[in-house]
Amino acid sequence: MCGVTGWIDWHTDLRHQERVLREMTATLLCRGPDADGVWLSRHAAIGHRRLSVIDLDGGAQPLPDHPAGPPGTVLGYNGELYNHRELRAELEALGHAFRTRSDTEVVLRAHLQWGRDAPTRFNGIFAYALWDDRHEELLLVRDHLGVKPLYWHAHPGGVLFGSEPKAVLANPLFRAELDAEGIAELFALPAAPSAGHGLFRGLHEVRPGHLVTVTRGATRELRYWRLESAEHPDDGATTRDTVRALLADAVERQLISDVPLCTLLSGGVDSSAVTALAAAARERAGQGKISSFSVDFPGSADRTPDAWRTTLDAPYVQAAADHIGTLHTSVLVPDDDLLDARDAVLRARDRPGWGEMDASLHLLFREVRRRSTVALSGEAADEIFGGYPYFHDPAALAAPTFPWLHGRTTPAALLRPEVAAEVRPEEYTAAAYHRSIAEVPRLAGEPAEQARIREVFHLALTRWLPPLLDRVDRVSMSVGLEVRVPFCDHRLVEYLWNVPWALKAPQGRSKGLLRDAVRDLLPPQVADRPKSGYPSTPAVRYTEVLTERARELLADPNAPVFDLVDREAVRGLLAAGRPLPGPRTAPNPVGGLDHLVQVDEWLRAYRVGLR
């Protein structure tokens, strides 16, 4: 993976702005610790930081089509193209000559051959900027599911863009400000963010499956990929075999790497399936055992299970690792390390996140990065197979809102009355929900119950999954680790989109289709393990420290968080020993405290203005 940033300006000669461009590029050092580069012309400036994964000696960026000739087309690319070998062969047959072995050059030449249709041919995770100097046009492109991020801001003379907001913030043309919409996104919809909203005022995110075109006087957003609803033609056995074949192919494609590679293994069916398929593919190729990693906490064995964390990971992790034959490492995360990691995570995400859950993920990824540069994850299986509790909860399914928010209190409940009156969080959430429902591809004549399940799957893919993918990308890239997600292969997502619920959950078994498709690869207790969420720490000290920080904020008359949050409401909840409402729907007594303290830290560190 890499980091890309840039600046288009019709009113300024950017050939004299190299210092600013390099400052923007330097903010992405963690995404690309191996190399950097900049490219400047009169109206375009592109910067790049590289994490070398394929073609270590080639693939330097930004990549021009004619490095020795006059300005032409230049690419700044972040991602991995898993079908680059097939596309390379096709392009060579069409007369293209390649200078490198990199997938970056395949992306560049695909655009030279097919123009804006090129992304429709890609299988991978990517976010990139392509500048055509002859026609003075910029393309910003993002992968089908939005695994890789890309932000942009329109200013009077053009646009700024970057893989992360910090790159755009490094340009003096952009200021960190929060308006009513941003406040609503941060407090009312942290678990269902609006597609394309960059939180900061005036900052946008290229939406998944979209490209943005920028020319003089015009910025347009175009969609190159969408799900299409149709009758599912296959019976149960064919569906199961097709899912297995698609997933196995996705995993095998994503093993391509010129650097050490591993898997993330939680002991659930999702990550265990990916690990087992990866191990089998490596065995067929005559390669060694695959390494796997998991996370654990001191005292976790003493924790009482709940509706979200139904079982402990450790026994299932060990069973899966032993059965598959991985070289496994369990990363133990102590309390003090979690506390120390909080600032690094805030800087990685450029916004308040999920507190200790982000911190523990950061520490896991940091340890993984000591031994591997690439990791395969089981992320997104629950969204495409229907593994979350809300898929099986009649009340949540019937609720006229995002089903995971049914019966939940969001941090918006803590807003000051005058702020809430301007933000109108309930109205904002309702409007966001109705816009999302309007985007669902319908199937004529579909029974109401199946149509509702289709709606919930679409909500899961477009509103629930994006913050999970963003979290994984930003936290992993903060330590220079590339995380790949085979379940986000768009071919698998397209196929499963039209599989009826009765086949996805046979006999009411959650993710029964996936379990049956990979059962022969896994020990029975892993194949049938109930859904268990990402672990949160049982640490007492972590809670104590955050409680003390919250009390310090209450005593600080200038704490910026209380420009937004009702000080007395927080004081009352702390005095009563009640948890503050948090940004995640998973039960977490410390989540609301984390959010409160992080919002204050973020407002200070990023000097966020309120509009």
Domains defined along the chain, listed by start: 2-223 (3.60.20.10), 236-527 (3.40.50.620), 540-610 (no CATH)
Sole residue written with tokens 């309390």: 335
Whether 2 sits among the annotated catalytic residues: the reply is yes
d(CA 363, CA 527): 28
d(CA 380, CA 382): 5
d(CA 391, CA 501): 10
Catalytic residue among 2, 30, 262, 488: 2
- Calculate Rg over the CA atoms of the chain: 24
pLDDT over 90 at 441, yes or no? yes
d(CA 496, CA 499): 5
- For residue 299, the model assigns a pLDDT of 67
The DSSP 8-state label assigned to residue 278 in this structure reads: H
Q: How far apart are the first and last CA of the chain?
A: 35
- For residue 539, the model assigns a pLDDT of 66
Which of 61, 64, 235, 78 has its CA nearest to residue 150? 78
Sole residue written with tokens 């109108």: 424
Cα dihedral: 488, 491, 493, 498 (round 10): 180
- Residues with Cβ within 8 Å of 435's Cβ and at least 6 positions away in sequence, in order, are none
Q: Mind listing the pLDDT tens digit for each residue in 463-512?
A: 999 999 999 999 999 999 999 999 999 999 999 999 999 999 999 999 99
pLDDT over 70 at 306, yes or no? no
- For residue 536, the model assigns a pLDDT of 65
- How much of the chain is helix, strand and coil, in % rounded to 5? 45, 15, 35
Helical (H) or strand (E) element with 368 = helix 356-369
- For residue 333, the model assigns a pLDDT of 86
Q: Mind listing the pLDDT tens digit for each residue in 336-375?
A: 888 999 999 999 999 999 988 999 999 999 999 999 999 9
The β-bridge relationship of strands 218-223 and 210-215 is antiparallel
Q: What percent of the chain has pLDDT over 90?
A: 85
Q: What percent of the chain has pLDDT over 70?
A: 95
